[in-house]
Amino acid sequence: MSKPYYITTAISYPNGKPHIGHAYEAIAADVIARFQRAQGRIVRFQTGTDEHGLKMARKAEEQGKTARELADEMSGYFQQMCSALNVSHDRFIRTVEDDHHRASQAIWQAMEANDDLYLDRYEGWYSVRDEAYYDEKELTEGEGGEKLSPQGTPVEWTVEESWFFRLSKYQDALLDLYQNTPEFLQPDSRRNEMIAFVSGGLKDLSVSRTSFDWGVKVPRSDSHVMYVWVDALTNYLTGLGYPDMAGDMETFWPADLHLIGKDIVRFHTVYWPAFLMSAKLPLPKQVFGHGFLLNRGQKESKSLGNVTDPIALAEAYGVDEVRYFLMREVAFGQDGSYSAEAIVNRCNAELANSFGNLAQRTLSMIFKNMDGALDFKCEANPADAALAATVTDGCDALQKSFENLAFSDGLDAWMKAVFACNQYVDEQAPWTLRKTDPERMKAVLMTLFKQVRALAIAVRPVVPTAADKLLEQLGIAPDARVYADLADEQWLAKLEETGFVVEKPTGVFPRLDLPETEA
Ligand code: ME8
């Protein structure tokens, strides 16, 4: 039985349209989900929108809409983004859904049953943009002397009756968790930040609001709605049917990975594990805080006028190209930068000119010089065997790196194997062998055919559409494109049995041009 694997993204605030940061996270999570499926795991992959809270309520008011109208309209754009980017989630959750209200009330009651909730009065700072409470000592001063959150967002003084969660009770358990289970919070730099934050002392957390009503109602306390992060974090359980502990909860909880951005690590690694401990539920195995994606080194913002629509980006350069670029260019965990030139240069150099060209050359030569008929009986010489070993090593290295979320390293190893194949073509010069030694030409082309297949299977989680188009042209059945198939010694015999012949190939990675305005 293959092991289940549960991965989630953060759920996005649908107070505006999705931006490139949302696309980056969705793509990274999708690559992981497809990679785990390729490893034979049964994957559950969840994403969605976080629709309650003051930020949504205020934005709707500004636009003269109800919060629900705004949420309905904007959540649709996030769903469109996921399908445009070929994101293979199993569930797109919206926190306005009934099952989510039920799950949030259930975890609330579990925390209450553990004597972790009490009624009091909150007096302190709140950032609506971050939907976060801050301690006075965390605040900084803006240019005009105004108080700002550590994220640089405005804060407002808030006084209201509120339910509190006994977060302070969990301080030691959280520090033990970071120390004894370092894989719980990655990368290490983010874990160190949280150790410092929690060591500084935890105050109890205000977990309900009474000054507005756009949220999940607190059980038996009708004038309160839950603090939006309580319900938002619970989405990870809702999708598995919580509070029903059988079925998907039993199969997929605890989550293998919550993939989130670096700005929301505190919510996922301080509040969330404390809520779960209180509700007596197992903790997720890992929270990974990825870096931010910057536009030519700058944060995108409406005032700078540099906000990129991820769907337009994918339309301009291709979905697989944008996916490949993001996973290859940015060291996962760190911030990264993108620009049209960087996408075009990277994709042309590596996808079009290197891997695409290798596949195209190989298939065209088989088509033209051998009428598409592979020579299944040819013998491999030491150069062929050496190339096969190099490609196997490259594909293995990709898998090892991807297992550790080191995508850029994995793709680097894969690219080195592609370069080795191109070097082999140049050295073997099959176009010359055609006249001098046609038998050897057949062996060279068979060697290349095999390596192109392996390279396509290895990289498929990143560029699924192009890889499938290529594997189709190689005659590889849709159910024979996962990592176990790389170790299947019978695959060529099975291909031979089908009577496969190579047809006139079509390229899968077109050369990209810079748009006029960028050139
Ligand atoms: O934080 N680059 O929603 P959100 C990379 N609703 N990632 C970025 C980014 C950027 N420039 N900007 C944002 C929320 N992100 C909450 C989450 S989860 C229970 C609730 C990431 O729409 C950000 O770090 O502000 C987060 O992981 C995700 O996009 C959604 O951000």
State the distance from the centre of ligand 1 to the C-alpha of 185, rounded, in angstroms.
17
Q: What is the DSSP letter of 167?
A: G
Closest Cα to atom 3, ligand 1: which residue?
Answer: 12
Which parts of the chain register pLDDT below 50?
518-519
Strand-pair partners of 324: none
CA of 103 to the centre of ligand 1 (A): 22
Candidate from 260, 300, 308 with most ligand 1 atoms within 8 A of CB, to mutate: 260
Specify whether the backbone of 302 is left (phi greater than 0), alpha (psi in -120 to 50) or beta.
Answer: alpha
User: How far does residue 17's CA lie from ligand 1's centre (Å)?
Assistant: 12
Q: pTM for this one? A: 0.97
- DSSP code for 128: T
Residue nearest to atom 16 of ligand 1 (CA): 12
Which structural domains are found in the chain, ordered by start?
4-116+166-290 (3.40.50.620), 348-498 (1.10.730.10)
CA of 12 to the centre of ligand 1 (A): 6
Q: 3-class SS at 429?
A: coil
As a whole number of angstroms, the distance between CA 372 and CA 367 comes to 4
Rounded to 5 degrees, φ, ψ at 304 are -80, -10
Is omega for the bond preceding 243 within 30 degrees of 0, making it cis?
yes
Question: Which atom of ligand 1 is nearest the CA belonging to 14?
Answer: 22
Mind spelling out the 3-state secondary structure of 245-275? CCCHHHHHCCCCEEEEEHHHHHHHHHHHHHH
At residue 478's C-alpha, the angle toward residues 256 and 83, to 5°, is 55
Contact present, 407 and 327 (Cβ < 8 Å): yes
Phi, then psi, of 91 in degrees rounded to 5: -140, 135
Best probe residue, ligand 1, of 8, 17, 24, 25 (max atoms within 8 Å of C-beta): 25
Is residue 454 within a helix (H) or strand (E), and if so which, with residue range?
Answer: helix 438-459
pLDDT of residue 519: 44
Supply the residue whose CA is at minimum distance from atom 22 of ligand 1: 12
Ligand 1 pocket test target in 46, 50, 302 with most atoms within 8 Å of CB: 50
Q: What share of the chain is helix, strand, coil (3-state, %, to 5)?
A: 55, 15, 30
d(Cα 49, Cα 6) in Å, to the nearest integer? 18
Q: Which two tokens stand for residue 18?
A: 């999705």
Q: Residues 196-211: pLDDT tens digits?
A: 999 999 999 999 999 9
Give the Cα separation of 225 and 469 in Å (integer): 50
Give me the sheet containing 221-226, strands edge to edge.
208-209, 221-226, 217-218
Closest CA to 466 of 505, 421, 501, 507: 507
Q: Of all atoms in ligand 1, which is nearest to the CA of residue 232?
A: 19
Q: What is the pLDDT of residue 297?
A: 85
Task: Count the neighbouring beta carbons within 10 Å of the beta carbon of residue 68.
Answer: 13
Nearest CA to ligand 1 atom 24: 261
The interface predicted TM-score (ipTM) is 0.99
CA-to-CA dists, residue 429 to 106, 203, 297, 315, 415, angstroms? 68, 71, 43, 37, 21
**Spatial separation of the C-alpha atoms in residues 209 and 491, rounded to whole Å:** 61
How far apart are alpha carbons 489 and 385 in whole angstroms? 15
- Tell me how far apart the 2 most distant CA atoms of the chain are, in Å: 89
Phi, psi at 268, each rounded to 5°: -85, -20
- For ligand 1, the distance from its centroid to the CA atom of residue 333, given in whole angstroms, is 14
Place of tokens 């505190």: 266
- Compute the chain's Rg from CA coordinates: 26
- Ligand 1 atom closest to the Cα of residue 291 is 5
Write out the E strands in 370-428.
Answer: none
Q: Whose CA is nearest to atom 4 of ligand 1?
A: 12
Alpha-carbon distance of 173 to 181, in angstroms, equals 11
Both tokens assigned to 175 = 């520090």
């992959």: which residue's tokens? 45
CA distances from 366 to 59, 254, 474 (A): 60, 49, 11
d(CA 264, CA 233): 11
Atom of ligand 1 nearest to the CA of 300: 11
pLDDT at position 446 is 98
Give the pLDDT score at 304. Answer: 73
Ligand 1 contacts (CB < 6 A) are 10-13, 21-22, 24-25, 50, 232-233, 235, 260-261, 263-264, 292-293
